[in-house]
């Protein structure tokens, strides 16, 4: 359940600790670097949630993101009652928004959803944390895959290009829901400079990596950005940051 590289001895020790937690607390959720004891995790048992989540999951890592997806669905359901369209920066294979769209039955909504990504990985000029981008280079071009994944929705638009340049002529004037997940402080702030003023009061921005130690540069930059605008971001135990825009 933990990212990172650990020895077999450490993994065995950890696994025994988890067994001890279950023995002591009976109810445990241990996924995605989060150990929660004696929580209801009601989303796991919600048939509508599972009908959207399960068919979109392709491996254990995606399955581990269930609580983060629950957060996104909560935010998206709220935002269909707020004026504006839906935006995601960025998309990769479209995992998160495919579940949100299936859950909301997005095709029946009078809303548009815009899915921004290069679909070939982080542009080197936006690699503000000097990460090893080899994984993204290996991933090839995902644009056709994502077009196919969303092709049954006439109101969902994958947009290929570098954020924020790709916003030109496509970014909606009013946004109710935004998911920001670019793993790059420079990309995320560049996106926010265009997005924030377009978010309708009552609208929500979810930051995927906000509370993760490895992405602290994003938190620092986003906290400063929001402080200048009189807003604060809630740090969730999932590592996500949640912002509700006020007037």
Name the percent of the chain in helix, strand, coil, to the closest 5. 45, 20, 40
Smaller CB separation from ligand SAM, 121 or 239: 121
Q: How far apart are CA 82 and CA 76, in angstroms?
A: 10
Select from 18-26, 42-50, 88-96, 228-236 the region that touches ligand SAM (CB under 6 A).
88-96
Select from 31-39, 119-127, 195-203, 218-226 the region that touches ligand SAM (CB under 6 A).
119-127
Q: Binding to ligand SAM (CB under 6 A): which residues in 11-70?
A: none
Write the CB contacts of 236 (distance below 8 Å, at least 6 apart in sequence): 71, 211, 242
Q: How far is the CB of 69 from ligand SAM (least distance, A)?
A: 9
Q: How far apart are CA 215 and CA 226, in angstroms?
A: 17
| Per-residue DSSP letter, 96 | H
Asked if 222 is part of the footprint of ligand SAM (rule: CB under 6 A), the reply reads: no
Asked if 84 is part of the footprint of ligand SAM (rule: CB under 6 A), the reply reads: no
Considering only residues 117, 205, 222, 245, which one is a binding residue for ligand SAM as defined by CB under 6 A? Answer: 117
Q: How far apart are CA 233 and CA 147, in angstroms?
A: 32
Instruction: Draw the binding track, 168-207, toward ligand SAM (x: CB under 6 A; -: no contact).
Output: -------------xxxx--x--------------------
Asked if 71 is part of the footprint of ligand SAM (rule: CB under 6 A), the reply reads: no
Please, where are the H alpha helices in the chain? 8-25, 47-53, 60-63, 66-79, 95-104, 134-138, 143-149, 185-195, 216-227
Give the count of residues interacting with ligand SAM (CB under 6 A).
20
Q: How far is the CB of 138 from ligand SAM (least distance, A)?
A: 12
Q: How far apart are CA 209 and CA 199, in angstroms?
A: 20
Q: How far apart are CA 216 and CA 223, in angstroms?
A: 10
Q: How far is the CB of 186 from ligand SAM (least distance, A)?
A: 8
Smaller CB separation from ligand SAM, 123 or 172: 123
Asked if 95 is part of the footprint of ligand SAM (rule: CB under 6 A), the reply reads: yes
Which positions touch ligand SAM (CB under 6 A)? Answer: 90-93, 95-96, 117-118, 121-123, 126, 136, 162-163, 181-184, 187
């Amino acid at each position: 359940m933990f990212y990172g590289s650990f020895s077999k001895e450490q993994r065995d020790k950890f696994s025994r600790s988890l067994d001890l937690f279950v023995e002591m607390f009976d109810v445990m959720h241990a996924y995605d670097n989060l150990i929660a004891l004696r929580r209801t995790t009601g989303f796991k048992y919600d048939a509508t949630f599972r009908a959207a989540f399960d068919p979109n999951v392709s491996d254990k890592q995606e399955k581990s993101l269930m609580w983060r997806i629950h957060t996104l669905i909560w935010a998206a359901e709220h935002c269909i009652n707020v004026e504006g369209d839906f935006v995601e920066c960025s998309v990769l294979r479209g995992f998160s928004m495919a579940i949100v769209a299936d859950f909301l039955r997005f095709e029946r909504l009078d809303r548009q959803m815009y899915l921004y990504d290069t679909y070939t990985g982080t542009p080197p000029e936006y690699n503000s944390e000097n990460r090893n981008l080899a994984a993204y280079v290996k991933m090839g071009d995902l644009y056709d895959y994502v077009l196919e994944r969303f092709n049954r929705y006439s109101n969902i638009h994958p947009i290929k290009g570098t954020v924020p340049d790709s916003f030109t002529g496509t970014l909606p004037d009013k946004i109710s829901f935004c998911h920001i997940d670019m793993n790059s402080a420079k990309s995320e702030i560049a996106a926010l400079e265009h997005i924030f003023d377009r978010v309708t009061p009552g609208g929500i921005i979810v930051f995927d990596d906000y509370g993760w130690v490895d992405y602290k540069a994003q938190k620092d930059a986003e906290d400063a950005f929001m402080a200048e605008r009189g807003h604060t971001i809630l740090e969730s135990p999932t590592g996500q940051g949640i912002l509700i825009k006020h007037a």
